[in-house]
Amino acid sequence: MQYENDRYTIGGIDVRDICREFGTPLYVYDAAYIAGQVARFKAAFAGVPAWIKYACKACSNLAIIQLMRKLGTGLDTVSPAEIKLGLAAGFKPDEIVFTPNCVDFTEIEQAVETGTVINIESISSLEKFARKFGGTVPICIRLNPNISTQVNADKVDWWHNQSKFGISRSQLDTVKALEAAYDLKINGVHIHSSSVIMSPDIFTEGARTVFDIAAGFKHLEFVDFGGGLKVDVGDGNPVIDLPALGQTLENLYSDFCDQVGHRVEIWFEPGRFLVGNAGTLFAECTVIKKNEAVDFVGVNTGFNHLIRPMFYDAYHEIVNVSNPAGPAHTYTVVGNLCEIDNLGQGRQLSEVREKDLIAIKSAGAYGYAMASSYNSRPRPAEVLVMDGQAHLIRKRETYADMIQNMVPLDL
C-alpha cells in the first residue's frame, strides 16, 4: 500500500474505492509488490543456482498460488490439500515440495503417488519410507542442525535441540545406517527456521553445518534452506540485508561444490518475504470508546481474522486511511470479539472517527491463512490488485457457509 497525493493506493487504485466495492473487513493483496519481491529474491541469489519454492501456508489462496507459478516459483506444501491447490494452480508435481510435520505416513504415500518432492523429517517416517520404497523414490531429509538462533521467541525459533522439527544432527548415524541398509536415494538436505535468517552470522553457521552434512550424501542434488526471511514491518527491528546474504552464500557455495564435485541446486521456501507486506487488512472503525486511561478504536475485525498480534505479539502498523492529515492521537486498536482482542496498543494514528477506514498492514502472510470464524463472524473476502484492476479472489464467508457442515439434532 502506498501513500501518494494525500491518499492510500494499492496498484494505483484508491483503497477506499476497493473497500466501497467489496466491503470490510477485507484482505487486499498487491500483485506488483509480490512480483517485485520475487525479482528481488532472484537478484540477491543470482550468484548461485537458487530456486524459490513459495511456502503457500503463508497465503494459500488459489489465485496467489497461480500468480506465483506465473512468476516462476515452485511451491512448498505441508498438507495434501496444499498439494491439490498447487496442482490446481498448474504446478507440475516435481515443482512441489511436500514438507509435512508429524503427519500420518499415508500422507507421505499419497505425495509419493502424486510425484512431489518428499521431505522426511523424523526417523520413524524414514524407517517406514525405507521399508516401503527403498531407493526407488528419492527423498530429502529435513535436519535440525541444533544451533541456537539466539532469537528469544520459542514459537518461531526452531533450530535448537528441543524443537519438534527435523531429524536431529545427532541422529545422522541412524540416517546413514538406513541409507546403507535400504540403498536410499537421499538427494536433498533441508533446514528451516522461521526466525533464523535475521543474522548473516547465524545463517553462515547454519549453511556451513548443512553443507558439511549434505556433502556426505552421494546422490545430493539440492540443499533447501527453508523460509524465515524477515521483512520490514515498520517496528524498527533489523531486517536482513538480502544481497549480503546472497553474497555470503555465493562464497560458501563454490567451496561446497568443489567438495561435492558437482553443482548442487539451492532452494529456499520463502512465505512471508514474498507476501507479508503485499497484504493489508482493511476494517471499519465501529466504535470510539474512551475510558480514563485509554482511547480505544473498535474495528469490525479481530483476532478471528488476524491472530498474529495476540498470538505472537506481532507488530502490524495501523493507519487511518480516511483522515491521513488529521492530528495524531494515541489509541489502542481493538477488535470486536468478546475477549481481549488487541490489534495494536498505544499507537499513534491520525484522529479516528467512527466509520473511518482503518488499514492493518503487513497482513499478507499468516493473515487470512490463520483466520477463523470465531464468535460466528464470517471470514473476510480477499481481493488481488493486478494490472490496475481489483479482482475478487475469495468471496466473503456467509452464514450459510459457516453452518453448512453442522448437523442439527432432531429434537
Stretch that binds ligand LLP, among 253-261, 263-271, 315-323, 383-391 (CB under 6 A): 263-271
Q: Are 91 and 53 in contact (CB under 8 A)?
A: no
Between 153 and 181, CB nearer to ligand LLP: 153
Question: Per-residue x/- mask for ligand LLP, residues 1 to 40, rule CB under 6 A?
Answer: ----------------------------------------
Does 100 contact ligand LLP by CB under 6 A?
A: no
Nearest residue (CB) to ligand LLP, 57 versus 377: 57
Question: In whole angstroms, how far apart are CA 332 and each of 94, 147, 286, 352?
Answer: 47, 38, 14, 11
- Residue position matching grid coordinates 522426511: 120
- Write the interaction track for ligand LLP spanning residues 309-338; mark x where CB under 6 A is met and - where it is not: ---x--------------------------
Binding test (CB under 6 A) with ligand LLP, winner from 11, 25, 227, 246:
227
Pairing state between β 186-190 and 222-224: parallel
Beta strands in 24-138 (DSSP E): 26-30, 50-55, 74-77, 96-98, 117-120
Residue 189 makes contact with ligand LLP by CB under 6 A: no
Q: Which C-beta is closer to ligand LLP: that of 8 or that of 158?
A: 158
Distances (CA, A) of 171 to 178, 214, 251, 276, 312: 11, 14, 29, 35, 31
Name the residue nearer to ligand LLP (CB basis): 192 or 305: 192
Contact 36, 231 (CB under 8 A): no
Give yes or no for residue 300 binding ligand LLP (CB under 6 A): no
The answer to whether 226 and 203 are in contact (CB under 8 A) is no
Q: Is 102 a catalytic residue?
A: no
> Which triple of cell numbers denotes residue 266?
539451492
Radius of gyration for the chain, computed over Cα atoms and rounded to the nearest angstrom: 23
Q: Which is nearer to ligand LLP, 28 or 56 (CB)?
A: 56
Which residue carries 488487541 as its cell? 342
Q: Residue 218 class from Cβ within 10 Å (0-12 exposed, 13-18 middle, 19+ buried)?
A: exposed
Does 51 sit near ligand LLP (CB under 6 A)?
Answer: no
Residue with cell 467489496: 22
Separation CA 216–CA 200 (nearest Å):
24
Question: Can you read off the three cell numbers belonging to residue 218?
Answer: 552421494
194 binds ligand LLP (CB under 6 A): yes
Residues 131-160 touching ligand LLP, rule: CB under 6 A, are: none
- Return phi, psi of residue 371, to 5°: -80, 155
Which residue number, 142 or 285, has a Cβ lying nearer to ligand LLP? 142
Cα 367 from Cα 310, distance rounded (Å) = 12
Specify the stretch interacting with ligand LLP by CB under 6 A; choose among 125-133, 259-267, 268-276, 319-327: 268-276
Distance CA 30, CA 233 (A): 16
Determine which residue in the list 99, 277, 300, 301 makes contact with ligand LLP, applying CB under 6 A. Answer: 99
Between residues 226 and 279, which has the closer beta carbon with respect to ligand LLP? 226
Of 366, 381, 390, 393, which one interacts with ligand LLP (CB under 6 A)? 366
Using DSSP's 3-state secondary structure scheme, residue 120 falls into strand
Q: In the set 67, 89, 147, 192, which binds ligand LLP (CB under 6 A)?
A: 192
Segment contacting ligand LLP (CB under 6 A): 222-230, 316-324, 346-354, 374-382?
A: 222-230
Letters for 61-90 (x = contact with ligand LLP by CB under 6 A, - = none) are ---------------x--------------
Report which of 113, 114, 110 is spatially closest to residue 91, judged by C-alpha positions.
114
Per CB under 6 A, 229 contacts ligand LLP: yes
State the nearest-atom distance from the C-beta of 29 to ligand LLP, in Å. Answer: 15
Hey, which bits of 25-129 come out as E strands?
A: 26-30, 50-55, 74-77, 96-98, 117-120
DSSP state of 63: H
| Among the listed residues 270, 335, 364, 378, the single contact to ligand LLP using CB under 6 A | 270
Q: Which of 19, 59, 285, 338 is catalytic?
A: 338
Options 110-118, 213-221, 224-232, 253-261: segment touching ligand LLP (CB under 6 A): 224-232
Phi, psi of 381 (to 5 degrees): -80, 165
CB of 119 to ligand LLP, least distance (A): 8
Residue 269 C-alpha cell reads as: 521456501
Q: Which of 27, 273 has the CB closer to ligand LLP?
A: 273
Check if the beta carbon of residue 304 is closer than 8 Å to that of residue 374: yes
Q: Please give the residue ranges that form the binding site for ligand LLP (CB under 6 A).
A: 55, 58, 76, 99, 192, 194, 226-229, 269-273, 308, 312, 365-366
Catalytic positions: 338
